[in-house]
Amino acid sequence: MKRPLMAALTAGVLVVASACGGSSPSTGSGDDGGPPKPGGTLNIAMPSDGTTLDPHESPSFNTQERVGMTYGRLLRHKIGPDQPYGALKLEPDLATSWDISEDGLTYTFHLREGVKWQNVAPVNGREFVADDVIATFERIREKGFQVGALGPVTKMTAKDDHTVELKLSKPFAPLLNNMADQFMWIIPKEGAEGKFELQTKAIGTGPFILEKWERNVAATYKKNPDYWEKGKPYLDRVVFKVVPDQGARIAAYRSGETQLVGATTDEEAVALERSVAGTRVLNLLSGTPVNLFLNVDHKPLDDVRVRKALSMAIQRKSMKDAIFKGGQYGGPVAVSLKQWALPDAELAQLQPTNPTEAKRLLAEAGYPNGLDLKLMVTQGYGPLYPRVAEWLVEDFAKIGVRAKIEVVEYATYFTSRWPKQQYEMSVGPQTPFLEPDYWLRDQLHSDGPRNWMGVNDPKLDKMVEEQTQIMDPKERAEKIKEIQRYVLEQALPPVQVWNHPTKVLLHQEVKRFHPQPEYGYPELRETWLAQQ
């Protein structure tokens, strides 16, 4: 009999600040505590560290959370207690306004004047100008994993110091959303030119300056006195402490060494709430679904019958009760993006659990006696994913699939094994993309820059390309839902395991912390501490 397994800290504060969805209409609950007071240090525990600070090199949450404290984007999403989770309403950041030509082929961004780069050598506090944007986008086009965000942009011009013009070969519906994407950080041209090492140094226009990065120990940020949004941030410092052990993270929160902890079990949340007076609990639905990635270049995972069999073997509802303690079915587009996602009832219908049918499909595919597969997992996201892997092994065994777990170190997992398709199956979280095109074109198109599963389906390619040309949001949403139905019917990877709930616990002095589903801790420009 399968033992109940308890979910624990998954991806640390990945789940807290950048991959969480509200279970209520807004992300706030009256925690603002009156007028903000400047000062204080916010300490946050992280389960692991990044391998680089280059925002164009790695989509890892460990990289993007850290660089997002420092950099800015052309556009951003509104935050605050009045913003429903996943609303993702655009507002100006480094661009104050923008114009789109009638034919949709020219975008003009008017940049904010008087913005200064952080006063760190070799940039030394100079003014932010259009050449920085062009240098950033050219670098992304040359080597960035975000290249898909620029789509059919064919020409980029700095019309003057504060005007950027983008020319497109065809209309591209996701472009504005992509300018506010959590990966589209604008770097100084000195970084693009190699005048400082982007892998170890971050110099931005954002609310915090990276003061010190001690690999696998801590990243320390100080308030940027020249931040363009006057009066912000309120915090003097933010420290990301690397604490790999779950028990140590909980102990640090209890002792006050850290003031924020994420993704605990119900039991742990109750215990912490009772043991730390004034603890506030945010009940959230993770925006990073637990996924089973399949390398379809590895036979027999190229066979739709085998993929369907694996999906049908997963006891999702039992896993919900035993491991996740709630949550809902996942889909090819994050369920947190409600405008674009399929409803839960339809997701359940399209992803049935049926071991008997799974066995029949395997036999039909030529595996009446089952088959052997390897299942890769890392502990870099916390203990949840190894436990899910154990559960999947048991489920697969019931249909004759003998899966062997292979545990790999996080840096190896994210820099070589997963992106280079050096695996057969892998269980892990998915990046909480904010624009559906990332979920579909970047991951599932045969030429997608994040197609790390070998998906190559001409019919799917055509549908995915079509949705980028549909400028009407409602019409585009229907096309995106049609694509998702096709993906699930073909059991194309990643196979959805579950969208799990999580909890964020905050000490009572932490005020105005209203997370949205994106990397980079944008909410911390508003957060303040009521000194105890």
Task: State pLDDT tens for residues 355-371.
Answer: 999 999 999 999 999 99
CA angle 187, 168, 87 (to 5 degrees): 65
pLDDT at residue 265, as a whole number: 63
* Kind and range of the H or E run holding 427: strand 425-429
The average pLDDT across 178-193 equals 97
pLDDT at residue 29, as a whole number: 45
pLDDT at 200 over 50: yes
pLDDT at residue 106, as a whole number: 98
Tell how strand 401-408 and strand 371-378 pair up: parallel
Q: Which residue has the higher pLDDT, 288 or 97?
A: 97
pLDDT at 39 over 50: yes
Q: Which of 437-450 are b and which e, b meaning 16 or more Cβ less than 10 Å from the residue's Cβ? A: bbbbbbbbbeebbb
**Highest mean pLDDT: which of 140-154, 246-260, 352-366, 415-429?**
352-366
Q: Which pLDDT band, with edges at 50, 70 and 90, does 247 fall under?
A: confident
Topology of the domain comprising 13-261+502-529? D-Maltodextrin-Binding Protein; domain 2 (3.40.190)
Q: Which pLDDT band, with edges at 50, 70 and 90, does 266 fall under?
A: low
pLDDT at 301 over 70: yes
Lowest mean pLDDT among 18-27, 31-40, 123-132, 336-345: 18-27
Lowest mean pLDDT among 15-24, 142-151, 469-478: 15-24
Domain boundaries, the chain: 13-261+502-529, 290-498
Q: Which residue has the higher pLDDT, 19 or 43?
A: 43
pLDDT at residue 430, as a whole number: 85
pLDDT at residue 9, as a whole number: 32
Tell me the two tokens of residue 310: 């694996």
Using alpha carbons, select from 313, 341, 311, 340 the residue that is nearest to residue 328: 341
* Kind and range of the H or E run holding 424: none
For 315-333, write each residue's pLDDT tens digit.
Answer: 999 999 998 888 899 999 9
CA dist., res. 380 & res. 59, Å (int): 15
Lowest mean pLDDT among 75-89, 101-115, 141-155, 395-409: 75-89
Question: In the chain, helix, strand, coil percent, each to 5?
Answer: 30, 20, 50
Q: Which DSSP state fits 72?
A: B
Which residues lie below 8 Å from residue 109, measured CB to CB, with a gap of 6+? 74, 95, 97, 98, 133, 163, 164, 165, 166, 179
CA dist., res. 422 & res. 362, Å (int): 24
CA dist., res. 324 & res. 265, Å (int): 8
CA dist., res. 404 & res. 41, Å (int): 45
The average pLDDT across 338-357 equals 96
10 Å Cβ neighbour count for 409? 12
pLDDT at residue 338, as a whole number: 86
The average pLDDT across 339-367 equals 98
Give the mean pLDDT of the chain. 91
pLDDT at 432 over 80: yes
Q: Which pLDDT band, with edges at 50, 70 and 90, does 4 fall under?
A: very low
Tell me the two tokens of residue 287: 């925006």
Residue 449: left (phi > 0), alpha (psi -120 to 50), or beta?
alpha
Q: Which DSSP state fits 147?
A: G
Q: Which pLDDT band, with edges at 50, 70 and 90, does 8 fall under?
A: very low
Percent of the chain with pLDDT over 70: 93
Tell me the two tokens of residue 501: 């709930």
Residue 406 to residues 291, 381, 394: CA-CA distances in angstroms? 16, 15, 15
Percent of the chain with pLDDT over 90: 75
pLDDT at residue 336, as a whole number: 84
The CATH architecture of the domain made up of 290-498 is Roll (3.10)
* Kind and range of the H or E run holding 92: strand 90-92
Residue 256: left (phi > 0), alpha (psi -120 to 50), or beta?
left
CA dist., res. 169 & res. 24, Å (int): 41
CA dist., res. 497 & res. 290, Å (int): 5
Helix ranges, 337-472 (H)? 344-350, 355-364, 384-397, 410-412, 436-437, 443-444, 458-467
> What is the pTM assigned to this prediction?
0.86
Using alpha carbons, select from 271, 265, 360, 267 the residue that is nearest to residue 313: 360
pLDDT at residue 21, as a whole number: 38
| Number of alpha helices (DSSP H) and beta strands (DSSP E) in the chain | 17, 21
